[in-house]
Amino acid sequence: MLSRENLRVTVNGGTLRPAFLSPGRTEHTDLAAELLRLVAGSVGRTRGEIDEGVGALAAGVRAPRAAHGLWEVLAGASRFATADPGGAAGCRRTVFAAAAGARAAGRFDRARVLAESAVRLGVPAVAVEDALYADLPSQDRLEVAADLDPIRLLERYNVRLVQGVLHSCVGFEAEADDDRPDTYQRLFAGLKENGLPFEAVSRREGNCRLRVAGPHSPTRRFGSAVARFFPALLSCREWRLASDLVWGKGRRHVRLVLSHEDGPGTAAV
Protein backbone atom coordinates (compact mmCIF):
# COMPACT_ATOMS: atom_id res chain seq x y z
CA MET A 1 0.00 0.00 0.00
CA LEU A 2 1.20 3.53 -0.67
CA SER A 3 2.74 5.62 2.08
CA ARG A 4 0.88 8.76 3.10
CA GLU A 5 3.25 11.15 1.33
CA ASN A 6 2.45 9.47 -2.00
CA LEU A 7 -1.34 9.43 -1.67
CA ARG A 8 -3.13 11.49 -4.33
CA VAL A 9 -6.71 12.34 -3.37
CA THR A 10 -9.26 15.12 -3.60
CA VAL A 11 -11.67 16.04 -0.84
CA ASN A 12 -14.91 17.77 -1.79
CA GLY A 13 -17.28 18.50 1.08
CA GLY A 14 -17.41 15.29 3.07
CA THR A 15 -16.32 12.97 0.26
CA LEU A 16 -12.80 11.78 -0.48
CA ARG A 17 -11.91 10.59 -3.95
CA PRO A 18 -8.65 8.80 -4.87
CA ALA A 19 -6.90 10.27 -7.91
CA PHE A 20 -6.52 7.08 -9.93
CA LEU A 21 -4.12 6.70 -12.82
CA SER A 22 -6.04 5.59 -15.89
CA PRO A 23 -4.73 2.82 -18.18
CA GLY A 24 -6.75 4.59 -20.87
CA ARG A 25 -4.74 7.83 -20.67
CA THR A 26 -1.57 8.00 -22.73
CA GLU A 27 -0.02 10.43 -20.23
CA HIS A 28 -0.34 7.84 -17.47
CA THR A 29 0.78 4.80 -19.48
CA ASP A 30 3.78 6.77 -20.79
CA LEU A 31 4.78 7.68 -17.23
CA ALA A 32 4.45 4.05 -16.13
CA ALA A 33 6.50 2.88 -19.12
CA GLU A 34 9.23 5.43 -18.42
CA LEU A 35 9.51 4.31 -14.80
CA LEU A 36 9.61 0.67 -15.85
CA ARG A 37 12.50 1.43 -18.22
CA LEU A 38 14.34 3.37 -15.53
CA VAL A 39 14.03 0.56 -12.99
CA ALA A 40 14.81 -2.21 -15.49
CA GLY A 41 18.04 -0.39 -16.33
CA SER A 42 18.98 0.06 -12.68
CA VAL A 43 19.77 -3.53 -11.71
CA GLY A 44 22.87 -3.43 -9.50
CA ARG A 45 22.25 0.15 -8.35
CA THR A 46 21.28 1.09 -4.81
CA ARG A 47 17.79 2.09 -3.81
CA GLY A 48 19.13 5.56 -2.99
CA GLU A 49 20.59 5.94 -6.48
CA ILE A 50 17.30 4.88 -8.06
CA ASP A 51 15.46 7.31 -5.77
CA GLU A 52 17.57 10.10 -7.24
CA GLY A 53 16.73 8.98 -10.78
CA VAL A 54 13.02 8.85 -9.97
CA GLY A 55 13.26 12.29 -8.38
CA ALA A 56 14.79 13.72 -11.56
CA LEU A 57 12.07 12.08 -13.66
CA ALA A 58 9.30 13.28 -11.32
CA ALA A 59 10.55 16.86 -11.52
CA GLY A 60 9.70 16.91 -15.21
CA VAL A 61 6.12 15.58 -15.10
CA ARG A 62 2.77 17.16 -14.16
CA ALA A 63 2.10 14.68 -11.35
CA PRO A 64 5.38 14.15 -9.47
CA ARG A 65 3.63 12.43 -6.57
CA ALA A 66 2.24 9.87 -9.01
CA ALA A 67 5.76 9.12 -10.23
CA HIS A 68 6.99 8.57 -6.68
CA GLY A 69 3.95 6.40 -5.96
CA LEU A 70 4.56 4.25 -9.03
CA TRP A 71 8.18 3.80 -7.96
CA GLU A 72 6.99 2.77 -4.49
CA VAL A 73 4.80 0.08 -6.09
CA LEU A 74 7.65 -1.04 -8.35
CA ALA A 75 10.09 -1.21 -5.45
CA GLY A 76 7.68 -3.38 -3.51
CA ALA A 77 7.40 -5.79 -6.45
CA SER A 78 11.17 -5.92 -7.08
CA ARG A 79 13.89 -7.83 -5.25
CA PHE A 80 16.68 -6.04 -3.44
CA ALA A 81 19.82 -7.41 -1.82
CA THR A 82 20.44 -6.15 1.71
CA ALA A 83 23.95 -5.92 3.13
CA ASP A 84 24.70 -7.98 6.22
CA PRO A 85 23.17 -5.89 9.04
CA GLY A 86 25.40 -7.60 11.60
CA GLY A 87 28.52 -6.59 9.66
CA ALA A 88 27.43 -2.96 9.40
CA ALA A 89 26.46 -2.83 13.07
CA GLY A 90 29.80 -4.35 14.10
CA CYS A 91 31.65 -1.87 11.91
CA ARG A 92 29.80 1.05 13.54
CA ARG A 93 30.62 -0.20 17.04
CA THR A 94 34.32 -0.41 16.17
CA VAL A 95 34.46 3.01 14.51
CA PHE A 96 32.39 4.78 17.19
CA ALA A 97 34.54 3.28 19.95
CA ALA A 98 37.71 4.42 18.16
CA ALA A 99 36.25 7.90 17.64
CA ALA A 100 35.23 8.19 21.31
CA GLY A 101 38.73 7.16 22.39
CA ALA A 102 40.35 9.67 20.04
CA ARG A 103 38.14 12.50 21.28
CA ALA A 104 38.85 11.63 24.89
CA ALA A 105 42.57 11.78 24.15
CA GLY A 106 42.18 15.11 22.35
CA ARG A 107 43.52 13.77 19.05
CA PHE A 108 40.43 13.13 16.93
CA ASP A 109 41.12 12.85 13.23
CA ARG A 110 38.51 11.22 11.01
CA ALA A 111 40.93 9.63 8.56
CA ARG A 112 43.04 8.25 11.39
CA VAL A 113 39.98 6.81 13.17
CA LEU A 114 38.93 5.03 9.97
CA ALA A 115 42.46 3.72 9.40
CA GLU A 116 42.72 2.38 12.97
CA SER A 117 39.28 0.80 12.69
CA ALA A 118 40.28 -0.82 9.39
CA VAL A 119 43.27 -2.45 11.07
CA ARG A 120 41.07 -3.81 13.86
CA LEU A 121 38.52 -5.12 11.39
CA GLY A 122 41.12 -6.47 8.98
CA VAL A 123 39.77 -4.62 5.93
CA PRO A 124 40.88 -1.63 3.79
CA ALA A 125 40.00 1.82 5.18
CA VAL A 126 37.77 2.58 2.18
CA ALA A 127 35.76 -0.58 2.94
CA VAL A 128 35.13 0.66 6.49
CA GLU A 129 33.56 3.87 5.25
CA ASP A 130 31.41 1.99 2.73
CA ALA A 131 30.25 -0.50 5.37
CA LEU A 132 29.31 2.00 8.08
CA TYR A 133 25.72 2.39 6.92
CA ALA A 134 25.47 -0.44 4.42
CA ASP A 135 22.39 -1.80 6.22
CA LEU A 136 20.26 1.29 5.52
CA PRO A 137 17.39 0.71 3.05
CA SER A 138 18.90 3.32 0.74
CA GLN A 139 21.95 1.06 0.35
CA ASP A 140 19.98 -2.03 -0.74
CA ARG A 141 20.89 -3.03 -4.28
CA LEU A 142 18.34 -3.94 -6.93
CA GLU A 143 18.75 -7.59 -7.92
CA VAL A 144 15.59 -8.27 -9.93
CA ALA A 145 13.29 -5.56 -11.33
CA ALA A 146 9.52 -6.09 -11.14
CA ASP A 147 8.10 -7.98 -14.12
CA LEU A 148 5.15 -5.68 -14.91
CA ASP A 149 3.84 -3.94 -18.00
CA PRO A 150 2.53 -0.34 -17.85
CA ILE A 151 -1.14 -1.33 -17.61
CA ARG A 152 -0.52 -3.82 -14.83
CA LEU A 153 1.61 -1.27 -12.96
CA LEU A 154 -1.15 1.37 -13.15
CA GLU A 155 -3.77 -1.11 -11.97
CA ARG A 156 -1.63 -2.22 -9.05
CA TYR A 157 -0.92 1.42 -8.18
CA ASN A 158 -4.65 2.15 -8.00
CA VAL A 159 -5.22 -0.72 -5.58
CA ARG A 160 -2.30 0.38 -3.39
CA LEU A 161 -3.69 3.93 -3.45
CA VAL A 162 -7.03 2.78 -2.04
CA GLN A 163 -5.25 0.62 0.54
CA GLY A 164 -3.21 3.63 1.63
CA VAL A 165 -6.38 5.68 2.05
CA LEU A 166 -8.01 2.88 4.05
CA HIS A 167 -5.30 3.23 6.69
CA SER A 168 -7.44 6.11 7.98
CA CYS A 169 -10.60 3.98 8.12
CA VAL A 170 -12.73 3.88 11.28
CA GLY A 171 -15.49 1.65 9.88
CA PHE A 172 -17.08 0.59 6.62
CA GLU A 173 -20.01 -1.04 4.89
CA ALA A 174 -19.56 -3.31 1.91
CA GLU A 175 -21.88 -5.05 -0.51
CA ALA A 176 -21.00 -7.83 -2.93
CA ASP A 177 -22.96 -9.40 -5.78
CA ASP A 178 -21.49 -12.62 -7.08
CA ASP A 179 -23.11 -15.97 -7.79
CA ARG A 180 -19.89 -17.99 -7.68
CA PRO A 181 -20.13 -20.48 -4.79
CA ASP A 182 -16.76 -19.74 -3.17
CA THR A 183 -16.97 -15.94 -3.31
CA TYR A 184 -18.49 -15.38 0.10
CA GLN A 185 -16.28 -17.98 1.71
CA ARG A 186 -13.26 -15.96 0.57
CA LEU A 187 -14.91 -12.71 1.62
CA PHE A 188 -15.70 -13.89 5.14
CA ALA A 189 -12.33 -15.62 5.41
CA GLY A 190 -10.65 -12.30 4.56
CA LEU A 191 -12.56 -10.57 7.35
CA LYS A 192 -11.72 -13.24 9.90
CA GLU A 193 -8.07 -13.57 8.89
CA ASN A 194 -7.60 -9.84 9.44
CA GLY A 195 -9.44 -9.77 12.75
CA LEU A 196 -12.32 -7.60 11.52
CA PRO A 197 -15.52 -8.19 13.51
CA PHE A 198 -18.43 -7.86 11.12
CA GLU A 199 -22.20 -7.83 11.09
CA ALA A 200 -23.98 -9.37 8.12
CA VAL A 201 -26.70 -6.79 7.48
CA SER A 202 -28.36 -8.95 4.82
CA ARG A 203 -27.52 -12.05 2.90
CA ARG A 204 -29.35 -13.74 0.10
CA GLU A 205 -28.31 -15.85 -2.85
CA GLY A 206 -25.73 -14.00 -4.87
CA ASN A 207 -25.72 -10.92 -2.62
CA CYS A 208 -24.30 -9.95 0.76
CA ARG A 209 -24.16 -6.69 2.71
CA LEU A 210 -21.97 -6.37 5.76
CA ARG A 211 -20.86 -3.73 8.24
CA VAL A 212 -17.58 -3.45 10.14
CA ALA A 213 -17.39 -1.03 13.06
CA GLY A 214 -13.96 0.21 14.03
CA PRO A 215 -12.40 2.56 16.59
CA HIS A 216 -13.46 6.21 17.00
CA SER A 217 -10.00 7.29 15.85
CA PRO A 218 -7.83 5.62 13.19
CA THR A 219 -5.35 3.04 14.45
CA ARG A 220 -2.52 1.46 12.51
CA ARG A 221 -3.77 -2.02 13.39
CA PHE A 222 -7.37 -1.50 12.22
CA GLY A 223 -6.43 0.51 9.13
CA SER A 224 -3.88 -2.11 8.07
CA ALA A 225 -6.45 -4.86 8.55
CA VAL A 226 -9.02 -3.07 6.36
CA ALA A 227 -6.38 -2.41 3.70
CA ARG A 228 -5.40 -6.09 3.66
CA PHE A 229 -9.06 -7.12 3.38
CA PHE A 230 -9.77 -4.84 0.40
CA PRO A 231 -8.43 -7.25 -2.30
CA ALA A 232 -10.94 -9.87 -1.11
CA LEU A 233 -13.75 -7.43 -1.87
CA LEU A 234 -12.15 -6.60 -5.23
CA SER A 235 -12.31 -10.27 -6.18
CA CYS A 236 -16.13 -10.09 -6.29
CA ARG A 237 -17.75 -9.50 -9.67
CA GLU A 238 -19.77 -6.55 -8.41
CA TRP A 239 -18.97 -4.71 -5.20
CA ARG A 240 -19.56 -1.46 -3.35
CA LEU A 241 -17.62 0.07 -0.48
CA ALA A 242 -18.53 2.99 1.79
CA SER A 243 -15.79 3.73 4.29
CA ASP A 244 -15.71 6.31 7.07
CA LEU A 245 -12.34 8.00 7.40
CA VAL A 246 -10.70 10.41 9.82
CA TRP A 247 -8.46 12.26 7.40
CA GLY A 248 -5.34 14.39 7.61
CA LYS A 249 -3.81 16.56 10.28
CA GLY A 250 -7.15 18.25 10.88
CA ARG A 251 -8.71 14.83 11.59
CA ARG A 252 -11.58 15.62 9.29
CA HIS A 253 -14.43 13.11 9.03
CA VAL A 254 -14.90 12.19 5.38
CA ARG A 255 -16.32 9.27 3.41
CA LEU A 256 -14.81 7.12 0.69
CA VAL A 257 -17.37 5.55 -1.68
CA LEU A 258 -16.23 3.18 -4.42
CA SER A 259 -17.67 0.38 -6.53
CA HIS A 260 -16.67 -2.07 -9.26
CA GLU A 261 -17.77 0.61 -11.76
CA ASP A 262 -15.39 3.35 -10.65
CA GLY A 263 -12.77 1.67 -8.47
CA PRO A 264 -9.60 -0.30 -9.32
CA GLY A 265 -10.09 -3.54 -11.21
CA THR A 266 -9.80 -7.13 -10.09
CA ALA A 267 -6.83 -7.73 -12.40
CA ALA A 268 -4.68 -5.51 -10.20
CA VAL A 269 -4.93 -7.70 -7.09
- Domain holding 92, by residue range, is 85-134
My answer on whether 179 and 231 are in the same domain is yes
My answer on whether 105 and 165 are in the same domain is no
- Global pTM reads 0.83
Q: What is the pLDDT of residues 184-212, one digit of tens each?
A: 788 889 999 999 988 876 666 678 888 89
CA 171 to centroid of chain Cα atoms: 22
Average pLDDT over residues 231-249: 91
Average pLDDT over residues 114-141: 86
Number of C-beta neighbours around residue 83 at 10 A:
17
Average pLDDT over residues 217-221: 81
**Whole-angstrom Cα distance, residue 263 to residue 153?**
15
CB 79 within 8 A of CB 97: no
My answer on whether 158 and 235 are in the same domain is yes
Residue 181: CB partners within 8 Å, gap ≥ 6? none
My answer on whether 102 and 196 are in the same domain is no
Q: Is residue 95 part of a domain?
A: yes
Q: Is residue 125 part of a domain?
A: yes
Percent over 70 (pLDDT), the chain: 95
Amino acid at 170: V
**Which residue, of 99, 134, 169, is where some domain finishes?**
134
For residue 46, list its beta bridge partners: 141
The domain tally of the chain equals: 2
Q: Is residue 233 part of a domain?
A: yes
